[in-house]
Amino acid sequence: MATDFQQKERLPELTDRIVETYHEIGTIHHLGHCPLPSQDAVIEAAQELKDVIFPGYSRRQNLHLGNVTYHVGNIIDSLHDILTLQIGRALRHQHVQ
């Protein structure tokens, strides 16, 4: 039975074989070209959108008609930045394929 050290000695060869499949199959186009959309950023955008739909329920509690416009405007500005970047990444990745 192989020892742990003997098994670890095989890891570089295994790694090389896996990476070779990226070239052979040709489906890993994003490496080194353009970043993929960020799952965390998309989740953040969904949470921001929730706060636009239901202002005051998740983050800021003391909203009123005098300040809700600023609050929602700030969120909309943030959403624009997040979604512009993430949609751009998705479109660039789609174009590479």
Q: What is the pLDDT of residues 37-46, one digit of tens each?
A: 889 999 999 9
pLDDT at 59: 77
Per the structure, the complete domain to which residue 55 belongs is given by 4-96
pTM: 0.64
Instruction: Tell me how crowded residue 51 is: count the other CB atoms within 10 A of its CB.
Output: 19
Q: Is the pLDDT of residue 20 over 90?
A: no
Total domain count for the chain? 1
Model pLDDT, residue 7: 86
The Cα–Cα gap between 28 and 97 comes to 9
